[in-house]
Each structure stands twice: as structure tokens, then as C-alpha cells.
Amino acid sequence: MATTVLKVGGMSCQGCVKSITQVLQDLNGVLSAEVSLEQGEATVAFDDARLTRADLARAVIDAGFEAS
């Protein structure tokens, strides 16, 4: 298991937070995802045997937001 913090850009409301949280939690191997609008970041606990940090960032980008 691993935990990472992604910087997320393009969020403007709690609806964005909910969307990103759902996108991350839907990934097979994500154990938890906490997204903060105020801090502009997502803290994700995931199974690093199934996913990489790049996979998480790609999911956020595919949802229409910026991630690094």
C-alpha cells in the first residue's frame, strides 16, 4: 500500500471535489481518496501493486482537471 498527494487544478466548487473523489475511488486498487478544494490537492491511499501515481493523475486529467 502507498499514499500520495496529487496537486489538483481546475476545481472551483464542492461539486468538483465530489467528482474527483468519485473518479479516484472508482479505480480498482484505490483504498481511499480525500480531496481538498482549499488546498487544491487529493490524498490517495492505493495498492501500488495495481496502480501507479501516474494512473491516479491520468484519471483526474481524464475527468477534466489538472493533476501533478
Instruction: Give, as one character, the DSSP assignment of residue 56.
Output: H
Q: Give the pLDDT of residue 19.
A: 97
Tens-digit pLDDT profile for residues 28-45: 999 999 999 999 999 999
Tens-digit pLDDT profile for residues 47-61: 999 999 999 999 999
Query: Hey, is 66 helix, strand or coil?
Result: strand
Domain coordinates in residue numbering, the chain? 2-67
| DSSP letters spanning 8-46 | EES--SHHHHHHHHHHHHTSTTEEEEEEETTTTEEEEEE
Domain with residues 2-67, CATH architecture: 2-Layer Sandwich (3.30)
Mean predicted lDDT score pLDDT of the chain: 97
pTM for the whole thing? 0.94
Residues in the chain, total: 68
What is d(CA 20, CA 22) in angstroms, rounded to the nearest whole number? Answer: 5
Q: Is 64 left (phi over 0), alpha (psi -120 to 50) or beta?
A: left
